[in-house]
Chain A
Amino acid sequence: MDNTTHFGFKDVATKDKQNLVRGVFDSVASKYDLMNDVLSFGAHRLWKRYTIASSNVKTGDKVLDIAGGTGDLAIAFRKKVGESGHVILSDINAAMLGEGRKNLINKGVFGVDFVQLNAQFLPFADNTFDCVSIAFGLRNVTDKDQALAEIHRILKPGGCLLILEFSKTDSEFLKKFYDFYSFNVMPALGDLIADDKESYQYLAESIRKHPDQETLKNMVLDAGFGFCEYHSLSGGIVALHKGIKV
């Protein structure tokens, strides 16, 4: 791997990125859900709902949500897999995982396991899960190819990978609006609501550095998935990639 990588628009030593990302999420954890609703005008709930519906997850399935944060997807998956299934909510960051645990308890959702892990090193046996999801997490991972290869390894044959992530819009109008919004409004709101401008500046920058739809699709196929298809949502501001291990 290269010695440097990007952290937002900055070049940093590869070995330092994980700690820098941890700093961001340590800082935003307690206000994460509120900020998510405010910054996306609630749209993240629709994107996640579409992700769950697309998962084809059913009763009895084993599901791993990586970078699961406060647990929106895990809660929905828990409902789908029923008592005979198994859902794991995982995140690299203890503070985010702690918020996830609180959130699930507050919502009366039980039977979900919590695991602190790095997407690049998944502590599970080969061919374990029917579905692995990662929502708004992949762009923070230092070595995305390694994470995708690990996910491929732990999925069962026929298992499904879901990546929900910010992406690229083709619309010139949306692009202009979105640039203005993410580099001016987002950090300002971060400052106002969460008293943290830098973290939201990073989040905006990291979105721009993330691979576009086609590039990510090829990365998924290169990781060994037999099929990959993406669906652009909200004009391409967000995309859902679905990979199937054959």
Chain B
Amino acid sequence: MQHFALEQALNYLIQTGAINLKPLDGKTIRFSLKDLPLDVNFICTNDRIFAVSDTGQHSDVNISLNAGVFFALFKGEDLTDLLRQDKIVTHGDVKTAQLLVDMLQSVDIDLEEVLSQYTDDIVAHGVGKIAKNFKQVVQNSSNPIDAIKDGLSKLMITPVVSKLYKNKHH
């Protein structure tokens, strides 16, 4: 459940062409933050990403790092340098890890901004808010999972009217 927001955001970016998944097709990547309870498996297949907590299966590469290093990577820091400094631990196919990092680094857009434009879809709107929370909370070094959970609970219990269920088709 906690990976819902990540999955939504990444697939939204794939659909809008902001990231290219082709090089990772067929790969499973386990990604965990050492100092925060974030442990997620990305299954890249059929031109989309599924984010699951436990695959029970072999992953092509395991990547484990601290939240601060994650943001450094995201801002363009070199993977090889960070690997050399032992700031990132990988097991498995380093080339796949590099492809994932390339993909994340190529996301040169404001996630929240993009998602908030997607106003037709209440879920994307909710995810936009969660993504914002996620960013803020991680920057404050507390718990991103709680932020996602909070966002999701709000999404689940707030009786908002979704266009999906209006008697109109656009």
A229 contacts partner chain B, Cβ-Cβ < 8 Å: yes
A232 to B153, CA, bound (A): 12
User: How many residues of A are in contact with the other chain, CB < 8 A?
Assistant: 35
Q: Are B164 and A227 in contact (CB under 8 A)?
A: no
Q: What is the 8 Å Cβ interface bit string for chain A, positions 29-60, against chain B (1 contact, 0 not)?
A: 00000000000001001100110111010110
A42 to B158, CA, bound (A): 12
A160 to B7, CA, bound (A): 14
A244 to B43, CA, bound (A): 9
List 10 A–B pairs whose Cβ atoms lie within 8 Å, in order of A's numbering: A42-B159, A45-B162, A49-B123, A49-B164, A50-B156, A52-B164, A231-B1, A242-B52, A246-B43, A246-B45
A179 CB to nearest B CB, Å: 23
Leading 7 A-B pairs by shortest Cβ distance: A158-B46, A158-B45, A108-B169, A53-B123, A229-B52, A231-B1, A56-B48
Q: Is the interface of B mostly helix, strand, loop or mixed?
A: mixed
A91 contacts partner chain B, Cβ-Cβ < 8 Å: no
B binding-site residues for A, Cβ under 8 Å: 1, 4, 7-8, 11, 15, 43, 45-50, 52-57, 122-123, 156-157, 159, 162, 164-165, 167-169
A58 to B124, CA, bound (A): 13
A37 to B159, CA, bound (A): 13
A binding-site residues for B, Cβ under 8 Å: 42, 45-46, 49-50, 52-54, 56, 58-59, 72, 75-76, 79, 106-110, 130, 156-160, 226-227, 229, 231-233, 242, 244, 246
Contact of A53 among B8, B55, B169 (CB under 8 A): B8
